[in-house]
Structure 1
Amino acid sequence: MKKLNNLLALIPEMQAKAKQRAEREPLPGAPLPKNVVQLPLWPEPVRAVPNGFLRSALFGAIRKGRRRFVKGEQLAALEGIEIRYTGERLDQGDLDVWESVLHAVRLQELGSQCRLTSYALLKLMGKTDTGKNRVTLHERITRLRANAVEVKQGRYTYIGGLIAGAAKDEDTQEWVIELDAKLRPLYAADQFTQIEWAVRHALNGQQIAQWLHGFYASHAKPFPFKVETLLKLCGSEDASPTSGRQKLRKALDAVVEASAAHGEGFSYEIRSDLVHVEKRASGPQRRHLAKLASKSRKPRG
C-alpha cells in the first residue's frame, strides 16, 4: 500500500513533465524531404503570419458593411515594409481564414493541393459548422483569391494572390485550396511571428484588438507608438480622432484582459499621446534579443 501511495503521489509530477514535453514538441509531423518547399512546422497552439502583414493595414480593422475596393493602393505599414493591394479591403476575419489555411498547408508541400472540409476549416477557426458560417467562409475564401498583393519585406518582394486557387464540392463541402510556393520567403527566419491562437480567438469580433495583439506579438521589445500612428497602421476608418482614441484604449484593455486569461503578459500606458506597451517576448524573440545583446557586448576591434 505504501508503494502504491508513493506511486500515486508521483502522478501529478509525471503529468506535469508530460505537459512540458508536449509544449516543447507539439509538432504534428516530421519535415518533408529537403528538396520539397514547405512552410515552417510551427506548434499546434499558434498561427504563423509574416511580419509585414501584422505590421500593416493589409488585414485592417475596417467597418462592417460594404467594403471599399482599391486598386494598387499603398497601404499604411511600418518603415521597411511596402504593401500595394488590389481588391476588396481585408479585415481580421479574413486573416483568421488565411491563418487557418496556412495552418493546414504547413503539413504538406507548399503549392500542392490542400484538401479539407468546411467543417475542418471552421473548427480550426473555433467556429461551429452552420449554414451562415459556411456562407461567410465561402465569401472570405473568394475575397482572398480575388485580390492581388505586392509586398516588400526585407530583401524579398512577393507579387500574387493570398490564395492561388480554390474549388469546392458543394455536396461534400470539401475544399481544394492551393497557395503559391513563392510565398515561402515571407516565412524566412525572423520574418514571421507565431501568434497565440487562444488569445486571438478570445478577441474574436474585436477588429482593433485582434490587430493590436498581432502587431505587438511581432515585436520582441515594442517601441512607443503614437495613438495616431497605431490607428493609421490598423486601417481604422474612424474619421473622429476622439472616437478613434477611445476605441484604441478599449481595444488595448481587451488585449490586456485576454492575454492575462491565457497566461500571456501584456500591459500598456498612454503618456503624452504615446502608447507604451510591456509584453513578455516569445521563445524565438527572447533568443533574438539575447543574440543582439551578445553582439553589443563584443569588443570592437
Structure 2
Amino acid sequence: MTKPLRGAEGIKARAAGVAGRVEPVPAPKPVPVFLPVWSESVRGVPNGFLRSALFGAIAKGRRRYMDSELVASVDGVEIRYTGQRLDQGDLDTYESVLHTVRLQAMGELCRFKAYGLLKLMGKTDTGKNRETLYKRLVRLRANAIEIKQGRHTYVGGLIDGAFKDEETQEWLVMLNPRLQALFAPDQFTQVQWSVRQALDGHQLAQWLHGFYASHAKPFPLKIETLHKLCGSEAGLMSDFAKKLRKALDAVAEASSANGEGFSYDIRGDLVHVEKQAQGAQRRHLIKKATKPRIPRD
C-alpha cells in the first residue's frame, strides 16, 4: 500500500496534480432577448394568433377542453392547442402582458400589480375584475401550444411562469425567450388599442378587427371560412351571417371613430373588406408598389 506523501514532497505532488488538471471553461452568458418596442397606442400580437381560432369568438359559459387539437387557421399557420378554450378577453389580458414585458428582457421576471394591469386594460380595480384577471392569467399559463409560423415552430406555454403575492397583489410573470421568434418584422401586427377597447365585450367584432388588422390588403373570404377561422359556436350559418354583419358594422363604426379606415361589402357568400393601411402596413404597400418589376421571359 502506497503511503501518502507528506511535507515538502506532498506539497510538490499536489501542486503538480493541480497544474495537470483541465479547468472547465465557463459557458458564455446568454444574450438578452427582447420583444420589439411598439408605441403605447398599439398592442403587438403574432399574426398566427390573429389569423386563427386560438383566441376565438366564443360565447360565455363552460369552456371546452382541447387536447393537442388542431386549431382552424389560415394557410401558412399551423397551431395545435392543449387547454381550456381561449377567448378575446384572454387575448386582451395576453396583449397587456406582452405590452408590459416588451420593456425588459424575456426570460426575466416582470413585476406588476393587478391594479396596474387592469388600468392598462381600461378596467376598474374591483374585486370581480381582479378575480377575472386571476382566472385569465391561470388559463394563459395552464396550456401548451405548438405553432408553426413562417420558418419557426414554437412549442411551449403562452406564459412560462406566474407568481402572485396575495398581500401586495403583485404579480411576477415570465415569458419564454423563444416566443420572440414569432415577432419577426413581417410576422406580427400592431393592433390599434383604442379600436379594440371600443369593441370590448363584442367577441366576434374584436376577432374580426384583429384578423383584418393583420392583413395589409384583405382578400375576399367566404362567410363559412370566417365562421371556421373565428371558432364560432353558432350552429346555423344563417345565424352566424347575421352576427357577422352586426360585428362588421361595429368594427367599421369603432374604426371610423378612432381614425382608421374600414369598410365592407357582402356579395353573395363573399365578404369584401377595404381598410386604410396604418404604419408598417402602409410602408409595406408603398415599398411593394414602388419595387421594380422583373420582366418575365
Q: TM-score, normalised by structure 1?
A: 0.87
Structure 2 residue 134 is the aligned partner of structure 1 residue 138: yes
Residue by residue over 1:113-143, the C-alpha shift from the partner in whole angstroms, topping out at 9 and shown as x without a partner, is 0000000010111000000000000000000
1:159 corresponds to 2:155: yes
Q: 1:43 and 1:211 mapped to 2: Cα distance?
A: 21
Question: Are 1:231 and 2:227 counterparts?
Answer: yes
Within 1, Cα distance between the matches of 2:79 and 2:147? 4
Matched, 1:244 2:243: no
**Cα distance in structure 2, aligned partners of 1:55 and 1:174:** 33
What CA deviation, in whole Å up to 9, does each residue of 1:132-156 have, x standing for no partner?
A: 0000000000000000000000110
Tell me which of 110, 117, 132 is aligned to 2:106: 110
Distance 1:296 1:77 in 2: 33
What is the one-letter code of the residue matched to 2:254?
A
Residues in 2 aligned to 1:215 and 1:282: alpha-carbon distance in whole angstroms: 14
Task: Give SS of 2:94's match.
Answer: helix
Whole-angstrom distance in 2 between the partners of 1:250 and 1:183: 35
- 1:296 positional shift: 5.2
Distance in 1, Cα, partners of 2:171 & 2:195? 27
| Equivalent residue letter for 1:180 | N
Distance 1:181 1:288 in 2: 27
Residue 60 to residue 296, structure 1, CA distance change in 2 (3 Å): farther
Alignment of 1:280-291 (within 5 A): 280-291=276-287
State the one-letter code of the partner of 1:275: V
> Aligned ranges for residues 86-101 of structure 1 at < 5 Å?
86-101=82-97
The amino acid that maps onto 1:218 is S
Query: Of 62, 71, 85, which residue of structure 2 is paired with 1:66?
Result: 62
Offset of residue 292 of structure 1: 2.2
**Highest Rg: 1 or 2?**
2
* 1:279 aligned partner: 275
2: distance between equivalents of 1:216 and 1:140?
Answer: 25
* Counterpart check, 1:191 vs 2:187: yes
**Distance (Å, rounded) in 1 between the aligned partners of 2:218 and 2:231:** 19
2:18 maps to none
Deviates more, 1:283-292 or 1:212-221: 283-292
Aligned counterpart, 1:43: 39
The within-5 A match list for 1:193-208 is: 193-208=189-204
* CA distance in structure 2 between the aligned counterparts of 1:54 and 1:204, rounded to whole angstroms: 16
Note the C-alpha offset of 1:46. Answer: 0.3
Partner of 1:120: helix, strand, or coil? Answer: helix
Q: How many residues align?
A: 268
Cα separation, partners in 2 of 1:118 and 1:284, compared to 1, 3 Å: same
Instruction: Give the superposition deviation at 1:36.
Output: 2.0
User: Aligned equivalents of 2:126 and 2:86: distance in 1?
Assistant: 23
Deviation at 1:288, TM superposition (A): 1.3
Q: 1:291: Cα distance to partner? A: 2.5
For residue 199 of structure 1, report the CA deviation from its aligned partner: 0.3
Q: Give CA-to-partner distance per residue, 1:43-93, whole Å, 9 cap, x none.
A: 010001000000000000011100000101001000010000000000000
Q: How does 1:65-84 map to 2 (within 5 A)?
A: 65-84=61-80
Structure 2: distance between partners of 1:171 and 1:236 = 39
How far off its partner does 1:290 sit? 2.3
Give the SS at the match of 2:282: helix
Equivalent residue number for residue 267 of structure 1? 263
> Considering only aligned residues, what root-mean-square deviation do their CA atoms show, in Å?
1.2
Residue matched to 1:253? 249
CA gap of 1:236–1:296, structure 2 versus 1, over 3 A, is farther
What SS does structure 2 have at the residue aligned with 1:297?
coil
SS in 1 for 2:291: helix
Q: Distance in 2 between matches of 1:216 and 1:39?
A: 22
Question: Unmatched 5+ residue regions in structure 1?
Answer: 1-33
User: 3-state SS of the aligned residue for 1:37?
Assistant: coil
How far apart in 2 are the matches of 1:282 and 1:298? 28
Cα displacement (A) at 1:300: 5.4
Per the alignment, in what secondary structure is the counterpart of residue 142 of structure 1?
helix
Aligned counterparts of 1:282 and 1:265: Cα–Cα separation in 2? 9
What TM-score do the two structures reach when normalised by structure 2? Answer: 0.88
Gaps of 5+ in 2: 1-29
